Amino acid sequence: MHSMQQLPDEVKHIAVDLAVIGSGPGGFEAAFRAAKAGMKVCLVEKGALGGVCVNWGCIPTKALLRSAEVYELFHRASSFGITANSPEIDLAAVVKRSRTVVQKLSKGTGFTLGRSGVEVIQGEALFVSPHDLDVLRDGECVAAVQAKHFIIAAGGRLRQLPGLEPDGERIITSKEALALKSVPASMIVLGGGAIGVEMAWFYTKAGSAVTLVEMMPRLLPLEDEEISAALKRSFEKAGINVVTGAKLGNVTKGPDGIIAALAVEGSESQSVSADCLLVAVGVTGNCDGLGLEQAGVETSRGFIVTVGACRTSAPHIFAIGDVRGGMLLAHKASAEAVVAVDTIKGKNPAPVDETKIPRCVYAEPSVASIGLSEKQALDQGYSVRIGRSMFASSGKANAYGSLDGFVKLVFNAADDRLLGAHLVGHGAVELIGELALARSLEVTSRQLASVIHAHPTLSETVREAAENAMEH
């Protein structure tokens, strides 16, 4: 604990019930809810309000993808009976639009926190004892915070590979990819997870020749196998060179781009080249530089270790979101914030159930899922019934001109409860809401099929998949 003599006079001293580190979706939700419950709350943020999600993740990515979607529709205009001049993509203008969206939401975050009575302190948080942290700006302490409880919502950062450190020009991360001034003629995207898939689709639509490389045997390796296979087919149809079960090595940078050796399992290595390489190989927690050892908070493999209710090894300190690992999703962080704040309030909330958290990938076709895949259900000993329905048979999908994809539902054969839902197709990310509710309430195929769905809508495909499951 600080003595007043240890810090300069201009340092602000703050005593609060709760100090939150990080203003992303989890940190924002925690600070807002705690303040609403009557706690005195401060929030420490070293960057722009809203965290990575608002500033360099979820929001700007979706703004870019929307521009690519509009651009693609222009190219398909004649199929809708519309004559349009040859469209061109202005990447600088696309990026400018995405940054405008970001700034609006970041300002909104600050306004809401201020209106809620949360004191926002700009700077880097550093624990100096289990109940005290310093807030640093340019290495200088500007505030000393003493708190009864802490919630660490410091987020994550993109994982780097040795020899593939980003230089911002030839080797880039998704952050640089969100702010390029012009479209590269060619690009290699390393990583077939959500970030790699979204970036590969965007830059393909923007005009790059894209090679998407994934080390695992399939794209989106954590998703249902049928979904991965369908996405790969759609991507190849869109002109993306998808290479799975592959490793990229011997990467060298030259004046004209990068050259690398692409080794596919069971085949000889071949040389590949591109203007740039986008590395999207995962995320690690922002644990460094927080002084966690001074607070008695344990870490393991790049993430903070937590037990029930998101508690760390220091019982008064909680960790939520990407910094504690698990599913690296904004809405998971927000759900964990509720659990942590309720626990501080003296309640006994149920922990977040990851089988009830939806997952979305915003390419075209989009991918959305919740719960267990067919293989996961079988591996866990369930006997399953599967229901499928193709979007190609949907009146609304035909009217839209977007026929790719399907809905796949996994039910427990023993009691007919929904175990998992998996969608690939236009609008999948919006359809997952109904299935998240169905999974949360553990509804049956019969109940889902009995719900009257509006016609014509894409949501009818969900009902038809449930009906299909009942036939097996």
Q: How far is residue 365 from each of residues 64, 211, 221, 350, 427, measured CA to CA in Å?
A: 15, 18, 17, 35, 8
The number of C-alpha atoms within 13 Å of 397 and in the hemisphere containing its C-beta is 24
User: Exposed, middle or buried: residue 253 (CB in 10 Å: 0-12, 13-18, 19+)?
Assistant: middle
How far apart (Å, rounded) are the C-alpha atoms in residues 92 and 181?
A: 5
User: Exposed, middle or buried: residue 49 (CB in 10 Å: 0-12, 13-18, 19+)?
Assistant: buried
CA 235 to chain centre: 20
**Which residues are identified as catalytic?**
455
Question: Does residue 57 contact residue 35 with C-beta atoms inside 8 Å?
Answer: no
- Total number of residues shown for the chain: 472
Beta pairing partners, 260: 272
Q: Reduce the DSSP state of residue 132 to 3 states and report it.
A: strand
Contacts of 390 (CB under 8 A, 6+ apart): 405, 406, 461
Contacts of 165 (CB under 8 A, 6+ apart): 171
Give the orientation angle of helix 428-441 with respect to helix 460-470, to 10 degrees: 50
Angle at 216 between CA 215 and CA 221, to 5 degrees: 130
Question: Does residue 240 contact residue 212 with C-beta atoms inside 8 Å?
Answer: yes
CA 451 to chain centre: 31
Rounded to the nearest 10 degrees, how much is the dihedral formed by the CA atoms of 319, 23, 113, 177?
-150
How far apart (Å, rounded) are the C-alpha atoms in residues 64 and 87?
A: 16
